[in-house]
Amino acid sequence: MPTNKQIIAIAKKQVGYSEGANNDNKYGKKYGENHCSWCAIFLWWCGQKAAENHGGLNPIAKCDNVYIQEETVRRGGRWILKKTTSKRMKKEVLPKLKEGDLISFDFGKKDNYRDHMGYVLRVDGDKIVTIEGNTQPQNKKTKYDGVYIRERPYTDMCAVVRPRYTK
């Protein structure tokens, strides 16, 4: 399996990529499911590219967006934060986050529904710096159409999985 550094290097090279009309993008084409929300598909694509370039299996599961974390755990990954709305638990997990963790966010009713996901790059105080697909640039009100580095408040986090990377 590839390392987290190899996968993140591939993800970083994608920053600035924008989809075409109607969610048309290269990640969905490779995945076999184009013209749909593609934040989880982007995570899988980066893992797949790293596996193709460096050998081994993709540690990121190919499955329905909502279940990517559960299926990645079945592949040998582990939960760092299982779905929660607890601010205390979220705050406690901040120092445990590592580059390459799969992070889910709940932006709405704080009902623990995973609205979006990305890769953790680092923690900066109470903020989590991520790289995400199917999102918009930081502090810009544009459509959710590309790959960008984002900064999110830890309170938006609802679940984190650490894939089984090669050390």
pLDDT tens, residue by residue, 80-94: 999 888 899 999 999
What pTM does this model have?
0.93
**Would you state the pLDDT for residue 129?**
98
pLDDT tens, residue by residue, 8-66: 999 999 999 999 999 999 999 999 999 999 999 999 999 999 999 999 999 999 986 66
Q: Please provide the size of the chain in residues.
A: 167
Q: Which helix (H) or strand (E) covers residue 29, if one does?
A: helix 26-31
Sheet containing 116-124: order of strands: 78-81, 157-162, 102-105, 116-124, 127-135, 146-153
Residue 139 neighbours by CB under 8 Å, 6+ apart: none
Q: How many Å from the N-terminal Cα to the C-terminal Cα in the chain?
A: 9
**Averaged confidence pLDDT in the chain:** 91
**Would you state the pLDDT for residue 114?**
77
Q: Is the pLDDT of residue 78 over 90?
A: yes
